[in-house]
Chain A
Amino acid sequence: MEALLQNLLNGIAAGSIYALIALGYTMVYGILKLINFAHGDIFMLGSFTGYYAGRWVTGKNPGETPGLASAALVMLIAMLVCGLFGYLNERIAYRPLRNAPRIASLITAIGVSFFLEYGGQMVFGPDPKFFPTLVEKKIINFGVVTTTNYQLIVLAVALVFMGLLQFIVYGTKFGRAMRAVSFNYETASLMGIPTDRVISTTFVIGSMLAAVAGILYGLSYPKIDPLMGIMPGLKAFVAAVLGGIGNVPGAVVGGLIIGIVESFVGGSSWSNYRDAIAFIILIAILLFRPAGLFGKYQPEKV
């Protein structure tokens, strides 16, 4: 029972980070039908921006732990930097290929991913770095379950940003434009929607969410390196597909499922197969629901 609750809690904390990354995949897919493989590396970039910004913040008052306000500042800087990268990524790498076959954009995405990974190794150095302590860590006991204020911060921040995204997509004029472009790109542009701007903004929002995930990840698992985005990126992609790619609540649910399942598998005697099981679940769900849990199945017209 004790282990069950503990694993559930750890799984939700890990899952909410996956969910934030998955949102970026799902938004871009929804609007462009493009799997942006570089998204996991934007997440890495968020962590590294947080690393440098965090060192700057901690450097101002050495000996003190910065606290929540500084952590928010660090997060804001990371969001701006990643948003800019997301914009440039779309503007330079994907927009010129808008009318090219989809496979060309896909391969470009893989190229951008490699560029960021190995460029990161060149710029940041290949060795792992220690993410600075932005908030003092406190251990909290809830009866049999032990948690830290970090896990609670992760949950709270993830919830806030998911809510914000939900509001943007369903409650604003821009969100309506986004959904229109996602529904039909050509018709939307005929209706006077500035499709290029909408797509750019979608990339910026997705990348900012990745930056948030990067900071939360850095807080929870303070060892960061330029290749750190690969595995979480892949798992978040699985989460997005699991929930129904293109579907915002689906990405959140998918992320939580992956996080919780991993946590339970990791604590069992099957822990060697933790990564494999995430993918087995994906295959199983797609066998029964090819469009994912929340996706609508639309046979492609040829």
Chain B
Amino acid sequence: MQKNVLIVVATFSLLLMGCPPKTETGGAAGGGGGEVLVGEYGSLTGSEATFGQSTHNGIMMAVDEVNAAGGVGGRRIKVLTEDDQSKAEEAANVVTKLISQNNVVAVLGEVASSNSLAAAPIAQSNKIPMITPSSTNPSVTEKGDYIFRMCFLDSYQGEAMANYLTKDLKIKTAGLLIDVKSDYSTGLAQFFEKAFLAGGGRIVGRQSYAKGDNDFKSQLTALRSSNPQILYVPGYYNDIGQIAIQARDLGMKQPLVGGDGWESPKLIEIGGKALEGCFYSNHYFAGDPAPSVKNFVDQYKERYGQTPDALAALGYDAAKVLADAIKRAGKTDGPALRDAIASTKGFSGVTGSITLGPDRNPVGKKLVIVEVRNGQLALKGSVDAAGDSTSAAAPAAAPAATTTTTTTGTTGS
């Protein structure tokens, strides 16, 4: 018995001894020499897998472009990617690993706000800058002065959609269906509700579900009885399709309305016909004729064989902004890099011109409203950078619908 204990202790100490050298090699690569190590964490597997995969594709494309153009100050950027399985606790683990074992100079990630919120305090306490490409919950960047973001906030997104509904579509009543397990969903619903009420609308029904549920019929049955004009469902794409199908099964005809969490090539694949006429607010529209967007979309299609979604575009922008900041800082220690990122001004990205404000959020980003039309995504309207006025694409401007994105069914990937 005692012998066994000894063996176990010996094995563990061997394992422990085996670790430090690995860390040191990582440190050497990060500190001086040839490569700049950047960490990326994302939902490459799990329920929000397309978020992580799209973001990863965007980041890799940006980094390859930077490296092909000579890198940053003559050094190549190397991205170390970790999968957090769409779980907040895993996000905290892998970011700790990236920072303490791999000694990365900065961290990129995540999409889901809950996961970014779990990782942000770790980056902050280690004084390693973190850029979230697409977490929209306001509290993410409130975690500290090392946390930045590339996208608009839920306060803006929720308000813009509420104004669009009350002012442009003259909608009076809405039902809410909220994912209570997600900081993103609860936050966005709050901002939406506040603005919707302020705009003269009424919330006639409110129900909740938890991420991972598959049966929404009971909640929808309750919402059906209050008969709202629209259903605001600020959830993630993998639940939306099911919610739409089950709503139609119950005979509900209202359009579902949501936020950027809907953005995924899987959305229409899962929801199909049930999503017809539903719409959501988003960061960019792949059919946008602007040259910066078109260029990006073409190159992305050539490289990955599918249309980039907003998360790919934001991942791309985040990596480009980081590379630009490393270049300007000239060094990679945390505080210097932080200051360089914070002073990003007028950076021309795919999702618009990026200027970071004092709260480390971008100022004046545009917002588009995307509709599912004939099984494809089409531009329904857009909100200009000022954010207070909503300019809907008038029916006359409907030819813009020719610029529809084809949602490539990436099955079996």
Binding site for B on A (CB under 8 A): 2-3, 6-7, 10-11, 14, 121, 125-130, 137, 139, 141, 146, 148, 150, 217, 221-223, 225, 227-228, 231, 262-268, 271-272, 274-275
Contact = CB atoms under 8 A, between A and B. Distances in A.
Nearest to B239: A223
Interface string B160-196: 0000000000000000000010000000000000000
B210 A275 contact: yes
A290 to B, nearest CB: 30
B238 A125 contact: no
B60 interface: no
B300 interface: no
B217 A272 contact: no
Given A127-B266, A262-B215, A121 B238 contact: no
B242 interface: yes
Given A148-B249, A264-B218, A266-B215, A223 B413 contact: no
Interface residues of B, number: 39
B210 A267 contact: no
Nearest to B410: A127
Contacts of B44: 126
Given A263-B217, A267-B218, A267-B222, A129 B249 contact: no
Interface in B259-275: 266, 269-270, 272
A127 B413 contact: yes
B218 A223 contact: no
B215 A221 contact: yes
Contacts of A7: 217-218, 221
Nearest to A2: B225
Interface of B: 44-47, 49-50, 53, 85, 180, 207-210, 212-219, 221-222, 225, 238, 241-242, 245, 248-251, 266, 269-270, 272, 411-413
Contacts of A267: 218-219, 221-222
Contact of B215 (A14, A128, A222): A14
Nearest to A55: B411
A146 B222 contact: no
Nearest to A133: B272
Given A3-B225, A126-B44, 16 more contacts: A6-B221, A7-B217, A10-B221, A14-B215, A121-B45, A127-B45, A127-B50, A130-B241, A130-B270, A221-B215, A221-B242, A266-B209, A267-B219, A267-B222, A272-B210, A275-B210
A235 B208 CA distance: 20
B46 A130 contact: no
Given A221-B214, A222-B242, A223-B242, A3 B221 contact: yes
A272 B242 contact: no
Contacts of B249: 137, 139, 146, 148, 150
Nearest to A127: B49
Contacts of B238: 128, 223
Nearest to A9: B217
A134 to B, nearest CB: 14
A128 B239 CA distance: 10
A228 B216 CA distance: 15
Contacts of B250: 6, 146
B218 to A, nearest CB: 3
A222 B270 contact: yes
A11 B217 CA distance: 9
A139 B214 CA distance: 20
13 contacts: A3-B221, A7-B218, A125-B49, A127-B50, A130-B272, A227-B47, A263-B215, A263-B217, A266-B216, A267-B219, A268-B222, A271-B218, A274-B210
B151 to A, nearest CB: 22
Given A141-B251, A146-B251, A222-B242, A129 B411 contact: yes
A6 B251 CA distance: 12
Given A137-B249, A262-B215, A275-B210, A128 B47 contact: yes
Contacts of A127: 45, 49-50, 53, 266, 413
Given A128-B266, A128-B270, A272-B210, A10 B218 contact: yes
